[in-house]
Amino acid sequence: MTALAARAEVTGARRVVVKVGSSSLTTAAGGLDPERLRTLVDVLAALRARGAEVVLVSSGAIAAGLAPLGLKRRPSGLAAQQAAAAVGQGLLVHRYTAELARHDIVAGQVLLTIDDVTRRAHHRNAHQTFAKLLELGVLPIVNENDTVATTEIRFGDNDRLAALVAHLVHADLLVLLSDVDGLYDGPPAAEGTSLIPEVAADADLDGVRIGRTGAAGVGTGGMLTKVEAARIATGAGIPVVLTSAARAGEALAGDPVGTLFHPTGRKQPIRLLWLAHATVAEGALALDPGAVRAVVERRASLLAAGITGVTGRFVAGDPVDLVDAEGHVVARGLVNFDAEELPALLGRSSGELGRDLGAAYEREVVHRDDLAVL
């Protein structure tokens, strides 16, 4: 596919999610940079003017709250980060609201936690809210709810959240804006490194050294989290452009700038994206070769008969890794039994378990609808 044809995926996108990081919105001192924010809004307004719907996922709440609180750098303590977010979120959205008003665009604030895009009822409500906002011509401004989030506050500097939001709103394109103008095959400042213009498959990243490049001090993400976010989105059928905020206008106009990640899969349930990319396993189930084949090749549910061992402390409903005989993780799923229950079930058929323990024990250990092959 030529660069020109590839970028038609950009110009043809009718619904676009744009994610911008803290380092692209702030000054060296850590406060919001009005000029950078104004420039970004002008680019988004131009995208809207050509008929596209836009959702903005914006970091920067914590960074915006530093100066008003007299903090010189991003605090390390969770409580202090949440205090900065509480102060900064209002300042961030106020600035966006004022700048968008210059283009007669109404801004709408949407604060999310990971539950809002993964739990079924929350997901449905969030999808309906976004749909109505876009129908009304509002430009949603999304951020994690840093003021109350715990582990989510360090959730990839909103990169993974942006990928999940792109899936949630059925976006045609995800644009990740950073302070680096694309993905390089090594440290961007190092001699001899070059920009990777397109990524069509994971094999294109073989030998590429992906580190935490970018500005330090106000943001938490890096190039690694952006590549992971690109994998989430492209695995769900959504193309991704990764470039710098300074080149956002060129990228959204379809110019061959930055790095274009081509879709590698089809749209899939967001719960499976969450399982694969946004959860931490609470334990592991060791599978025999037959069970590995059933889960990986046939996408079948996992039964107790195919499990050879259990590790970790978990309860029914927790995510667990499914591992083969060599210890390689082949899938992740939501388990239907507590860790203490499983040892007595291992290697036994569903019929035997139902006969000896009751009908409740005939069910799958991990149902195929709650299982993501990795």
Residue 112 in tokens:
């999310």
**Residue 120: per-residue pLDDT:** 64
Distance CA 271, CA 164 (A): 10
What is the rounded radius of gyration, in angstroms, for the C-alpha atoms of the chain?
22
3-269 maps to which CATH number?
3.40.1160.10
Given a contact cutoff of 8 angstroms between Cβ atoms, the answer to whether 25 and 109 are in contact is no
Please write the tens of the pLDDT for every residue from 184-236: 988 888 888 899 999 998 888 877 777 554 444 444 457 888 998 998 899 88
Burial of 245 (0-12, 13-18, 19+ CB in 10 A): buried
pLDDT band, very low/low/confident/very high, at 30 (cuts 50, 70, 90): low
Quick one: pLDDT at residue 131? 95
The 10s digit of each residue's pLDDT in 90-130 is 999 999 999 999 999 999 999 987 767 666 677 788 889 99
Q: What is the spatial distance between Cα 131 and Cα 17, in angstroms, rounded to a whole number?
A: 13
Checking if the pLDDT of 4 tops 60, the result is no
Q: Are 195 and 183 a contacting pair, CB within 8 Å? A: yes
Q: Which two tokens stand for residue 180?
A: 């680096």
Pairing of the two strands 139-144 and 240-244: unpaired
pLDDT for 151 equals 53
Residue 295 has pLDDT above 80, yes or no: yes
Strands (E), the chain: 15-20, 53-58, 107-112, 139-144, 173-178, 198-199, 240-244, 259-261, 283-287, 307-312, 319-323, 329-334, 371-373
**Structure-token match 């899939």, residue found:** 268
Domain residue limits, the chain:
3-269, 279-373
Q: How far apart are CA 74 and CA 85, in angstroms?
A: 11
Class of domain 279-373: mainly beta
pLDDT at 209 (0 to 100): 72
* Amino acid sitting at position 97: T
